[in-house]
Amino acid sequence: MKDEKKVRLIYNSIMVAFVLYAWLIMFFNTKEGMLTSKGFVNLKFYTTLSNIFAAVVAGVWIADHVKKKDSPVLSLWKLMSASAVGVTFMVVLGFLGPLYGFGTMYVGSNFFLHLVVPVMAMIEFVVFNERKLTVKDNLFVIFPPLVYGTVYVINTFINGIAGNDIYGFLRWGYPIGLLIFVAICFVAFLIGMVLRFLNAKLQARGGEN
């Protein structure tokens, strides 16, 4: 158990480092990849926010571990953050990659924020989570994309689609755009369900050994 905690500590530290490194690349240089903005403007992207969310949760887990605490709520936050970056991973894989080209989606900071950190966060929950979470808990994973999508749509209503529809979700009109956001929330829910299922299977197998 102690060795597992040490591995998880290192794992979380690497995730935090990757997010910080990728964000600094974006902050100071936007020459590589699409959907990047220099300075704090990059905080308008769901990718940036979801990865920062995952890094913050990882940082809280690290602090909790160092203080030798074991906050039950962290399991839920881990699921929420893993699902949030999982949405980034799936949207790039199924929508933005084919639309803009995978070469621009997996280069520079985008390589870490679209691929490395999302995969690491999802693997970490599956492998290390020790608390059973319910379907009711799983509903919370919808909140990050739901809040972001709501602000996204409201902003385009107020300031116009041009220059504000940064992901191109509204290029076919608001009805289709809203359907896309609903689908994204559903994807987040499914990711959470799959992560919980895999984690439960792994924990059950570990209990048999």
Whether the Cβ atoms of residue 19 and residue 110 lie closer than 8 Å to each other: no
* pLDDT of res. 102: 87
State CA 161 to chain mean position distance. 25
Residue 118 CB contacts under 8 Å (≥ 6 apart), including other chains: 51, 54, 85, 86, 88, 89
CA–CA gap between residue 103 and residue 91 (Å, rounded): 15
Q: What is the pLDDT of residue 30?
A: 63
pLDDT of residue 207: 61
Q: Which residues of 66-95 are buried (b: 16+ CB within 10 A; e: fewer)?
A: eeeeeeeebbbbbbbbbbbbbbbbbbbeeb
Which has the closest alpha carbon to 92: 118, 74, 72, 67?
Answer: 118
The predicted-structure confidence for 29-88, as pLDDT tens digits, reads as follows: 766 666 778 888 889 999 999 999 999 999 999 999 898 888 889 999 999 999 999 999
Task: Look up residue 194 and give its two tokens.
Answer: 């799959």
Averaged pLDDT, groups of 10, the chain, 209 residues long:
84 97 87 75 93 97 90 94 97 86 87 96 96 95 95 92 87 90 95 97 76
The domain locations on the chain are 2-204
SS3 (DSSP) at 134 = coil
In the DSSP assignment, the letter for residue 165 is -
Q: How far apart are CA 90 and CA 97, in angstroms?
A: 10
Q: Which residues contact 151 (CB under 8 A, 6 or more apart)?
A: none
Give the model's pLDDT for residue 32.
Answer: 65
